[in-house]
Amino acid sequence: MDKPRAASQGRSAAPPAGAPRAVLFDAYGTLFDVYSVGLLAEQLFPGHGTALSVLWRDKQIDYTRLVTTSNDGAHYRPFWELTRSALVYAIKKIAPDTQYAWTSGGFEAKTEQLMNQYRHLSAFPENREVLQQLKARGLTTGILSNGDPAMLGVAVRSAGLEGLLDHVLSVDAVRRYKTHPDAYALGPQATGLEPRQIVFVSCNGWDALAATWYGYQTLWVNRYRLPFEELGTPPTRTGSSLRDVLSFF
């Protein structure tokens, strides 16, 4: 879904010729901290919180790839459904002793608590400042995410970012998750720009790599000091926070 373009009043002149004209952000892991659920997970499953949040995320991404690459996407399911399925798997694997609670409803109640927390993930503290500076430079801004429209709408509102985004793009429109090219193509389609005129920002190395392959200029936000993917194509730039996107301008 697209958000209405913000009013141009107060913006600076357009960026110089040759500079990127838009910035699109991945949402989960980049604007919103997917591991912020770990505290609640620890309260619900003592001793397992961190491991649960990590496996939940890993299985969530595994499922997006599985449904995209199998039978030409015939098994597509919205991101919210995959997120819940990934959580159930993670709980069963990390805390199998809690499975007895399926019959009493306790397991289901804990699952729903964590899913509700996922709707309102913590936003990284620099988000608003960076988006404000990009808008002040006259740039088009947006999200390009695996999240389905309802999920993204809640997350954006919870973080107070509504007025700072021109587009909130969900792969649900094409029923193909990243890293499928159809997912990345949503950016040029929405903005009317060539991929090389757009900076794509992601905290996920695999996402930054695939976006680079697609043709975007890319910023990999390496918050966790990880090695980049060993497939021979570096991102355009690497940084440690969203503020590093400002170096493109």
Residues with catalytic function: 26
| Token couple for 231 | 């497939």
Which residues are within 8 A (CB) of 178 and not within 5 positions of it... i.e. 6 or more apart?
Answer: 64, 146, 171, 184, 207, 210
DSSP state of 199: E
In whole angstroms, what is the distance from residue 123 CA to residue 206 CA? 21
Q: How many residues does the chain have?
A: 249
In whole angstroms, what is the distance from residue 26 CA to residue 146 CA? 8
Strands 22-25 and 167-170: unpaired
The letter for the amino acid at 13 is A
Q: Yes or no: say if 94 and 52 are a contact pair by the CB < 8 Å rule.
A: yes
* DSSP 3-state of 82: helix
The residues facing 170 across adjacent strands are 145
In whole angstroms, what is the distance from residue 157 CA to residue 77 CA? 24
